[in-house]
Structure 1
Amino acid sequence: MYNSQYPQIQPFLQYLQFEKRYSQHTIISYQLDLDQFAAFLVSQFEAPSIKQVSSVMIRSWMGELKEEGLSAKTINRKISTLKSFFKYLQKQGEILQTPLATVITPKISKRLPSFVAEEDIDTLIRYVEFPDTWSGRTDRLILLLFYNTGMRLSELIQLKESQLDPSYSQVKVLGKGNKERIIPVQSELIKELALYTREKPERVEGVTNIFVSERGKPLYPKYVYNLVKKYLGAVTTIQKKSPHVLRHTFATHLMNNGADLNAVKELLGHSSLAATQVYTHNTIEKLKEAYRKAHPKA
């Protein structure tokens, strides 16, 4: 949109796509942030050149975003986009130094990830009845796979038949940045998935996605989000009920049962250990609760 004033944006987006191999969703997010910042520079500072962009201008933008009611988390994400962009320009020799060196991002209040209690998951698996239809079968397998693997919503929807490996009871997942990881799957579940793929509706032609609708079409995110919300609503009273909550549940239950933090990091496909360490807090809270309940002097 503002490529005429800031032609550096397009090469940066191409760099993210072809060299960093970011997903289309992530690239669009970067583009929207940069377009928004460029529009702010044009309207408030009469379109300074990229070399003239200063920390004062960036802080002014942050102030405007805050006035618009954006959360600290959202503002930080937008500043992270600018950091990546100016770091790229510095590497390309377009600027000598980044204007973000003195920009302090707003603090985010740390919230522990929501997760479903083990007994509620047990209720879901053992006692909740699913309709004896293709949709009912699909819904049940999706919920089981989320909880068994901790994969992301996008990873599950895009999962192909070729990524299933029943002989080794594992699934190969293509995560963020097209990074592959292998996740073990319960043998009974992977057998069910293999059978499910063989019994797809006859209308399926050329669709290699594992999960399809009754019409043989790949599932869309909203459908999966709604089914997770519906079935979790039947077993738990936690406020958030989403595919990501099942990802948190997978990780938390592993940690609570003694899994190694590095192993959980690999299973989740996190690029850094810092992202995984949040689950240790849930484990500590569980220990505190056990102490309060069991210790006579607690």
Structure 2
Amino acid sequence: MWQSHLEAECRFSPLTVRAYTDDVTFFALYLGHHNCPKEVTYNDVRSYVMAMVERGDSPRSINRHISAIKSFFNFLIRLGEVEKNPATKLKSLKSPKGLPQYIQPSKMGEIINWALESKDDFEQERDSLIILLFYSTGIRRAELAAIKIGDIDIEQRKIRIRGKGDKEREIPLVDFLAEKLERFLQRHCQKENNFLFLMKENRPISHNELYNTVKRILTAAGVQGKRSPHILRHTFATELLNREAGIRSVQELLGHSSISSTEIYTHNTIERLKESYKNAHPRDRIGG
């Protein structure tokens, strides 16, 4: 019922509804046996948020969890299931305005070389393709999870992506990714309406499984700092701009509705230009 409310009255996209549902489910799992809505307190919600902070979740992700929990309990109030919302007084976290982190080209090259190697094991083949897709297309985790076989056009070297607000966009496939995809489709995929990535139980891969896959591979590769699908999205955008791709083209590829969301990546390229200028400037080279 709550999901229907989010879709019909709040007009949330299917991706947002799924994210909110997952967030509330994780909150219930955190509470364990103490998960009767009437018994949930402000301290329960606050301790859950603190656990996410200690785990290193981003402010953006934590704030979405808070919004989902507030929405769920407001809905229960409407139904008369509870009298008050335990999350009402909880404030959203402030997001730091730091530069997006990204993986250095040399390290990314090592990861890509590993991903392009032939894999006999299904799980390794699937996981290496996940890494290549994130890095080569810059798509979001929810977008990758939603890819169906029918969205892929190997011959035309493009893939259809369903983004935020159910907006569709097409992203070109570089040759090495198209070839890897073609081999994977021939070996493991049957019906066009099936999701591209299925688990052994024949169910679509979850957002958490995608996150854990990327984190495991990037950790094994020695990547420092954040090791998430989003870091590969940052890397994709930063590398394009460093190679002088137009910012409007990058905006379209990333599926940003506002150019300001894309402009954060230009700061990384400006820092790179400053370093290049400093290293190349005659005054610096002759020591003053």
- TM-score w.r.t. the length of structure 1 is 0.66
CA–CA separation in structure 1 for the residues paired with 2:221 and 2:99 = 21
Give 1:27 deviation, angstroms.
5.3
**Identity %, equivalent residues:** 35
Amino acid at match of 2:18: H
Counterpart for residue 116 of structure 1: 103
Give 3-state SS (helix, strand or coil) of 1:177's partner. Answer: helix
Distance change >3 Å, CA 199–CA 262, structure 1 → 2: same
RMSD between aligned residues: 4.1
One-letter identity of the residue aligned with 1:184: P
The one of 206, 222, 225 aligned to 1:239: 225
- In structure 2, the CA distance between the partners of 1:117 and 1:130, relative to structure 1 (3 Å rule), is farther
Structure 2 CA distance for partners of 1:14 and 1:115, relative to 1, 3 Å = same
For 1:28 and 1:241, how far apart are their aligned partners in 2?
24
Q: Aligned residues, how many?
A: 245
Determine helix, strand or coil for the equivalent of 2:276: helix
Change (3 A) 1:133 1:73: closer
Cα pair 2:140 2:230 within 8 Å, conserved = yes
* Alignment partner, residue 28 of structure 2: none
Question: Structure 1 287/235 Cα, relative in aligned 2: closer, same or farther at 3 Å?
Answer: farther
Shift of 1:79: 10
Structure 1: distance between partners of 2:7 and 2:213: 34
Q: Is the 8 A contact 1:160 1:208 kept in 2?
A: yes
2:149, 2:192 within 8 Å by CA — same for their partners in 1? no
Q: CA deviation at 1:231?
A: 2.0
- Secondary structure (helix, strand or coil) at the match of 1:241 reads coil
Contact residue 145 and residue 207 of structure 2 kept, 8 A: yes
1:25 is aligned to 18
2:155 is matched by which residue type in structure 1?
S
Aligned to 1:162: 150
The one-letter code matched in structure 2 to 1:111 is: G
> Conserved in 2, the CA contact under 8 Å of 1:149 and 1:183?
yes
Q: For the residues of structure 2 that align with 1:165 and 1:194, how far apart are their CA atoms?
A: 10
Q: Deviation per CA, 1:157-206, whole angstroms, max 9, x where unpaired?
A: 121001001121000000111110000011342233133123217xx789
What is the aligned counterpart of 2:8 among 14, 25, 35? 14
Aligned to 1:263: 249
Where structure 2 has 5 or more consecutive residues not aligned to the other structure, the ranges are 26-36, 54-58, 69-91
Query: What's the counterpart of residue 281 of structure 2?
Result: 295
**1:234 Cα offset (Å):** 3.5
| Residues 13, 27 of structure 1: 8 Å contact kept | no
Match of 1:177 in 2: 165
In the alignment, which residue of structure 1 is the partner of 2:214? Answer: 228
> Is residue 195 of structure 2 the alignment partner of residue 209 of structure 1?
yes
State the TM-score, normalizing by the size of structure 2.
Answer: 0.68
Structure with the greater alpha carbon radius of gyration: 1
Q: Is the 8 A contact 2:214 2:227 kept in 1?
A: yes
Q: Secondary structure at the match of 1:297?
A: helix
- Closer, same or farther: CA 292–157 of 1 in aligned 2, 3 Å: same
The 1:273–1:166 alpha-carbon spacing in structure 2 relative to 1, beyond 3 Å, is: same
| Cα distance between partner residues in 2 of 1:260 and 1:150 | 15
- CA distance in structure 2 between the aligned counterparts of 1:12 and 1:212, rounded to whole angstroms: 27
CA distance in 2, matches of 1:75, 1:125: 31
Pick one of 268, 279, 291 that aligns with 2:265. 279
- C-alpha distance 236-254 of structure 1, shift in aligned 2 (>3 A): farther
Measured after TM superposition, the shift of residue 11 of structure 1 is 6.5
107-116 or 247-256: bigger deviation: 107-116
Post-superposition CA distance 1:92-147 (Å, at most 9, x none):
xxxxxxxxxxxxx9864311111111111111122566752111111111111111
